[in-house]
Amino acid sequence: MKEEIDLAKIRVVITNIQRMCMDDGPGIRTTVFFKGCNLKCPWCANPENISFEVEYGREGLRQEKIYGCYYSEEMLYEELMKDEKFWSNTGGGITFSGGEPLLHLYRIQGMLEKLKKRYIHLAVETALQVPPKYLTRILTWIDYYIVDIKVLDRKLCRTVLHGNLDGYFDNLRILGSEGKEILFRIPCNMEYTATHENLERICRLLCEFPDVPVEIFSIHNMGRTKYESLGKAYREFERISGIQLEGIKNKLEQCTDAPVVIRHI
């Protein structure tokens, strides 16, 4: 018999729970992808995580694909705790991604508190472009912040990403003053994030956070089939070569004391 879902308890919509992840924080991690984002990055590889609603797509001619599943705090906690032994054996934990996880986590603070009582290491992967209240509500529970650096020109950020840099800088200051552990991540493309002007701005930001390590990577085109499945317009971006990434790394290394690492995706 099909289990009844108590709609009053539904808190979040999730598109994927990815297990055994090695690149989303320390140790082996379970990464949770929330559905819903306030940005519209033209290179986004996860188009299914932009709308906050459950969506329906197609795989091939006939088969329908559902993007998004409703979870209550209890359901999510039970699902995640299946991986506890992997975390404890490797110093890993859970990473909340998306979408923009900060727009969802405040709805499941009870679960976060429960996980922290069991000393589970919690991380978020965030663009950080949200009003600070979304960050401050969950600050107590989250140990590690993987923060994107994208377009640092106010006007371009607004017109290209639909973002807001004021919230971004406010939130970075909060993380800095709370002494939270941060990793910067830069998705590189020659049109927006790795232009000469934007790299200069990134350098100025890194000078303010000289101890924060940096990861850079070329944006990729792996989201194409999901765009097609959802009937959304897809735009292909040219990948940045290894030599170009080395050049960006060398430049950024001059502005920070922390390591700058190329991530190969």
Closest CA to 125 of 93, 157, 151, 154: 93
19-58: b (≥16 Cβ within 10 Å) or e = eebeebbbbbbbbbbbbbbbbebebbbbbbbbbbeebebe
**Between residues 74 and 215, which has the closer beta carbon with respect to ligand SF4?**
215
Q: Find the shortest distance in angstroms from Cβ 98 to ligand SF4.
A: 6
Q: Is 151 helix (H, G, I), strand (E, B) or coil?
A: coil
85: exposed, middle or buried (C-beta count within 10 Å: 0-12, 13-18, 19+)?
Answer: exposed
Q: Which bin fits 95, alpha (ψ -120 to 50), beta or left (φ > 0)?
A: beta
Q: Smaller CB distance to ligand SF4: residue 148 or 181?
A: 148
Q: Any idea what DSSP says for residue 54?
A: -
Question: Smallest distance, Å, CB 222 to ligand SF4?
Answer: 12
Closest to 189 (Cα-Cα) out of 57, 14, 43: 43
Binding site for ligand SF4 (CB under 6 A): 37, 39-41, 44, 46, 49-50, 98-100, 127
Smallest distance, Å, CB 46 to ligand SF4? 5
Residue 129: closest CA among 42, 38, 216, 51: 38
Nearer to ligand SF4, 127 or 142 (CB): 127
HEC secondary structure over 159-188: HHHCCCHHHHHHHHHHHHHCCCEEEEEEEE
Tell me whether residue 92 or residue 98 sits nearer to ligand SF4 (CB atom).
Answer: 98
Nearer to ligand SF4, 75 or 163 (CB): 163
Nearer to ligand SF4, 87 or 145 (CB): 145
Q: Which one, 2 or 155, has the nearer CB to ligand SF4?
A: 155
Q: How far is the CB of 41 from ligand SF4 (least distance, A)?
A: 3
* Least gap, CB of 7 to ligand SF4 (angstroms): 26
How do 93-97 and 69-72 pair as beta strands? Answer: unpaired
Q: Least separation, in Å, of the C-beta of 59 and ligand SF4?
A: 21
Q: Please state the closest distance from residue 219 (CB atom) to ligand SF4, in A.
A: 9
